[in-house]
């Protein structure tokens, strides 16, 4: 079951990031397609499946945030990625939206690094 959860999780990561990139690019020149039901619902479905697959991986591996420092850091980085991703679409000015978008990508980079190495960057003292 581990491999199935892992592959589902990785697929959802790719879809989530792809949707962020595509939606942000389309939001630069507001496109009517962004108002379609698909683009309103799909990111929520993808992110829900992403989080569910992460929970299933944690349960399968019996590794949990606040027990494993690398997983704690990954969780914090994912939350920051989500918050900045939302702000990238709701910011008042183009400057704020771009800053949040780039910040979200930075946190995503940390998530990927920690996921691949299983070594925390900031929580090394724990």
Walk along the chain (126 residues) and give the pLDDT tens digit of each residue: 999 999 999 999 999 999 999 999 999 888 889 889 999 999 999 999 999 999 999 999 999 999 999 999 999 999 999 999 999 999 999 999 999 999 999 999 999 999 999 999 988 765
Strand (E) or helix (H) holding 113: helix 94-117
The four Cα atoms 114, 62, 79, 43 give a dihedral, to 10 degrees, of 100
Q: What are the boundaries of each domain within the chain?
A: 1-62, 68-126
Select from 104, 54, 46 the least CA-distant residue to 75.
54
Burial bucket for residue 58 (CB in 10 Å: 0-12, 13-18, 19+) = middle
This prediction's pTM: 0.88
Tally the residues of the chain: 126
Sign of CA dihedral 101, 104, 109, 115: negative
């Amino acid at each position: 079951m581990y491999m199935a959860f892992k592959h589902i999780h990785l697929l959802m990561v790719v879809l989530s990031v792809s949707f962020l990139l595509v939606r942000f690019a389309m939001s630069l020149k507001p496109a009517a397609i962004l108002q379609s039901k698909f683009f309103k619902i799909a990111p929520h479905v993808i992110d829900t499946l992403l989080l569910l697959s992460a929970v299933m991986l944690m349960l399968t591996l019996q590794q949990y945030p606040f027990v494993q420092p690398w997983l704690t850091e990954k969780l914090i980085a994912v939350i920051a990625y989500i918050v900045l991703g939302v702000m990238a679409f709701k910011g008042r000015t183009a400057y704020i939206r771009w800053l949040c978008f780039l910040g979200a990508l930075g946190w995503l980079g940390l998530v990927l690094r920690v996921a691949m190495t299983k070594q925390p960057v900031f929580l090394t003292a724990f």
